[in-house]
Amino acid sequence: MCSYLPNFGKFRRSKGGLIRLSQGHLQPLQDVANAAFLAALFSDYLEASYTPGWYCGPSFYTPKNLRDFSKSQMDYILGRNPRNLSYVVGFGERYPSQVHHRGASIPAHKKESCKGRWRWKDSNMDNPNIIQGALVAATDMDDGFQHVRTSSNYTEPTLVGNAGLVAALVALGGGGTLDKNGIFSAVPSFSPPSPPPPAPWTP
């Protein structure tokens, strides 16, 4: 959790503030979405266990620090970024329209052979079917985005990314807690237990 915080500089960040969890990874937005979820989840755990925060070295951080990180990453994904582009298809005014996805890029009324489908992938036309809610794969370290269907490293959605996206949105929305049903009630407190009382003192 400490490594997510910007003042530790563990991971590189784009100028727009998007964290890059691994070097050379071709689909970093799925990492970002899952990191946002884990940060919000740990924040909820701290609050559910009545833990005011935790130490990263000598510095003390509160659950709010983690939620702020999580929110900043999700805000970027949803359009608060240098390109003012939402990376979730169908959300906001501007979002990717050439998603690398077979069902989205082939017109519904067309019956194509396996070989015939390639012409739709290589087409420069927008997808005829909007794949609502799909998180695309990537931006680069300069907050750039190749808005082309054939650039699958940028425009391909993944199950891993969309699972993280949904989990992070649930964690940050609806009152801001995942623990409505007491899922953390059996988890030991993150804080060390209170020391036992001293033995009675006698002069």
Kindly state whether residue 194 falls inside one of the protein's structural domains: no
Kindly state whether residue 193 falls inside one of the protein's structural domains: no
Give the range of the structural domain holding residue 147, as residue numbers without chain letter.
Answer: 28-172
Compute the Cα dihedral for 20, 22, 25, 31 and give only its sign. Answer: negative
Q: Where are the alpha helices (DSSP H) in 3-110?
A: 28-48, 63-77, 102-105
CB 89 within 8 A of CB 99: yes
Told to judge if 100 belongs to the known catalytic residues of this protein, a careful annotator would answer yes
More confident residue, 169 or 23: 169
Q: Which two tokens stand for residue 50?
A: 């009545």
Kindly state whether residue 202 falls inside one of the protein's structural domains: no
Q: Report the distance separating Cα 116 and Cα 65, nearest Å.
A: 51
Kindly state whether residue 9 falls inside one of the protein's structural domains: no
Kindly state whether residue 186 falls inside one of the protein's structural domains: no
Mean pLDDT of the chain: 83
Q: pLDDT digits over 94-127, tens only?
A: 999 888 887 787 777 777 666 666 667 777 888 8
Kindly state whether residue 157 falls inside one of the protein's structural domains: yes
Distances (CA, A) of 97 to 111, 142, 158: 22, 21, 16
Domain count, the chain: 1
Residue from 100, 101, 109, 147 carrying the catalytic annotation: 100
Q: pLDDT digits over 142-164, tens only?
A: 898 998 888 888 889 999 999 99
Kindly state whether residue 145 falls inside one of the protein's structural domains: yes
